[in-house]
Amino acid sequence: MADLRIVPADGDARLRDWRRAHNTIIPTHPLSLADVRERSTRNALDVAYAEEELVGCMTVRQPEGEHRTVTVIARVLAEHRRRGYGTRLYEQGLARARGLGAGGIETVVLESNTDGLHFALAQGFVEVERYLLDGDTIPYITLRLP
């Protein structure tokens, strides 16, 4: 496995890479660069590279609600899966969530992303909700660490 480098998605080049990974893994809800720029004002966005090749992206949302739930979403492009990259992204996201004072940790996976769903379940997450965005036909699954 090549060394994984996880860096903030700061600047347009990295925001474009974050967008490319997101839109590849979540084809039902493609984001524009403007959408990603706006999202980066609310959430921590990171991109992951093996050497100089894009591997995936991560989102860590700010704590919400009385339980201070933090959502950590790690995405790895299909050609880079099963190499430990998802685990590394997830571990960094968990560390960031804990640093934000998370009272609970959630993740969100598109139902058609079976690899992502299996990964989340293997990390101990349990399903708590399924929902559709307006106009979508494939639900998202919210999972929570017990």
Q: Give the per-residue SS3 of the chain.
A: CCCEEEEECCCHHHHHHHHHHHHHHCCCCCCCHHHHHHHHHHEEEEEEEECCEEEEEEEEECCECCCCEEEEEEEECHHHCCCCHHHHHHHHHHHHHHHCCCCEEEEEEECCCHHHHHHHHHCCCEEEEEECCCCCCCCEEEEECC
pLDDT at 101: 94
Q: Is the whole-model pTM more than 0.75?
A: yes
Sorted by where each starts, the structural domains of the chain and their CATH numbers stand as 4-144 (3.40.630.30)
Mean pLDDT of 35-41: 97
